[in-house]
Amino acid sequence: MNHALTQQGRTRRRHRIRARLRGSAARPRLSIFRSLRALSAQVIDDDAGRTLVAACLAEMKNAKNSVDGAKAFGTLIAKKCAAKKIVTVVFDRGGYKYHGKVKAFADGARSGGLTF
């Protein structure tokens, strides 16, 4: 599979998704980025153009870039959001399929107390 074509397709999907999703102060956008080495997530207020909460998989001790690690990472971002009194978010999957690590991250965030 050609990497450039895969990346181009993800970029198109990401722009399509981003056109419909908008984060506000009341309901910020939870955006995930998945690479071959790690996961990272941000909670963004698009109206103000600010990142409210950010986390990376490397922040966790004994974290693995696997489905189980993604679920634990989801609970970490939910705890950080709870500390900032953020309860509801809009989930932005970033052009990735809602499957595997992305789905496990979303399930972990839900189990941590976030609603979307």
CA 32 to chain centre: 3
Q: Kindly state whether residue 33 falls inside one of the protein's structural domains.
A: yes
Q: Kindly state whether residue 102 falls inside one of the protein's structural domains.
A: yes
Q: Kindly state whether residue 36 falls inside one of the protein's structural domains.
A: yes
Q: Kindly state whether residue 65 falls inside one of the protein's structural domains.
A: yes
Q: Kindly state whether residue 116 falls inside one of the protein's structural domains.
A: no
Would you say 39 and 65 are in contact if contact means Cβ atoms under 8 Å apart?
A: yes
- Asked if residue 4 has pLDDT above 80, the reply is no
How many domains are there within the chain?
1
76-114 residue pLDDT tens: 999 999 999 999 999 999 999 999 999 999 999 999 999
Q: Kindly state whether residue 18 falls inside one of the protein's structural domains.
A: yes
CATH number of the domain that residue 71 is part of: 3.30.420.100
Q: Kindly state whether residue 59 falls inside one of the protein's structural domains.
A: yes
Q: Would you state the structure tokens that stand for residue 79, as one six-digit string?
A: 């705890």
- Helical H segments across the chain, by residue range: 3-20, 67-83, 101-111
Q: What is the DSSP string of 45-63?
A: ETTTTEEEEEEEGGGSTT-
Q: Grade residue 5 by pLDDT with cuts at 50, 70 and 90.
A: confident
Range of the domain at 85: 3-111
Half-sphere exposure of residue 101: CA atoms within 13 angstroms, side-chain side:
19
Give the strand order in the sheet containing 39-45.
50-56, 39-45, 29-34, 90-92
Query: How far from 28 is each of 3, 14, 17, CA to CA, in Å?
Result: 31, 17, 15
- Asked if residue 3 has pLDDT above 90, the reply is no
Q: Kindly state whether residue 84 falls inside one of the protein's structural domains.
A: yes
13-58 residue pLDDT tens: 888 888 888 888 899 999 999 999 999 999 999 999 999 999 999 9
